[in-house]
């Protein structure tokens, strides 16, 4: 059992808002790169705009391009959270709010656990269960993946952050 209390809904939500801004920035960058790649494929003749007015209209109307873009955006989000959760247990937003995700035995998440946790979070909606589970303060993704989000002391938060330099 961890010496730190589990985090409540408000802190989780605040952290998620911070992280959403970072993920949106990565998604925008990924989309720009994707648009350039599709434009390149049009330039070499792999695709044609046909009757579509621009590249984005072509992507929207072409199932393979549309689903490839969707999968890329999901992958960017999962990799963002997975990287931070497996490295230190804290994303950028979690660090700001002194939160840490860990397995229930206190260890860092593995990549398979981080991926599963990202996908079962349901874009943050899984955190709504924390409101109902006042006693244990666990979200859907915590229940499914056997994890917990704890509220660190200022000293422990600094220690976790400083350990990234090691």
Domain range summary for the chain, segments of one domain joined by +: 9-165
pLDDT of 6 higher than 60:
yes
For residue 2, what pLDDT is reported? 58
* CA dihedral of 150, 138, 114, 109, whole degrees rounded to 10: 50
The encoded tokens of residue 58 equal 């072509």
Q: Look at residue 68 in the predicted model and tell me its pLDDT.
A: 96
Task: Note the pLDDT of residue 158.
Answer: 94
Task: Give the pLDDT score at 123.
Answer: 86
Other Cβ atoms within 10 Å of 6 Cβ, number:
19
> Is the confidence at residue 1, as pLDDT, over 90?
no
* CB neighbour list of residue 146: distance below 8 Å, 6 or more residues apart: 103, 104, 113
Q: Which two tokens stand for residue 120?
A: 């079962």
Calpha distance 93→10 (Å, rounded) = 13
Q: SS3 breakdown of the chain: % helix, strand, coil, rounded to 5?
A: 65, 5, 30
pLDDT tens for residues 91-120?
999 999 999 999 999 999 999 999 999 999
Angle (deg, nearest 10), helices 63-87 and 111-120? 120
Which pTM value belongs to this model?
0.91
Between the two ends of the chain, the Cα-to-Cα distance in Å is 26
């Amino acid at each position: 059992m961890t010496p730190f209390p589990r985090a409540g809904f408000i802190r989780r939500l605040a952290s998620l808002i911070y992280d959403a801004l970072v993920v949106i920035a990565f998604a925008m960058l990924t989309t720009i790169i994707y648009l350039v790649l599709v434009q390149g494929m049009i330039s070499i003749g792999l695709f044609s705009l046909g009757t579509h007015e621009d590249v984005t209209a072509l992507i929207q109307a072409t199932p393979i391009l549309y689903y490839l873009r969707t999968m890329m955006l999901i992958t960017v989000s999962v990799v963002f959270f997975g990287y931070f959760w497996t490295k230190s247990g804290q994303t950028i937003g979690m660090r700001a709010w002194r939160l840490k995700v860990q397995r229930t035995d206190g260890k860092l998440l593995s990549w398979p656990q981080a991926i599963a946790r990202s996908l079962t979070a349901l874009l943050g909606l899984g955190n709504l269960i924390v409101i109902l589970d006042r006693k244990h303060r666990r979200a859907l993704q915590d229940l499914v993946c056997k994890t917990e989000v704890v509220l660190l002391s200022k000293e422990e938060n600094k220690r976790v952050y400083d350990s990234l330099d090691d």
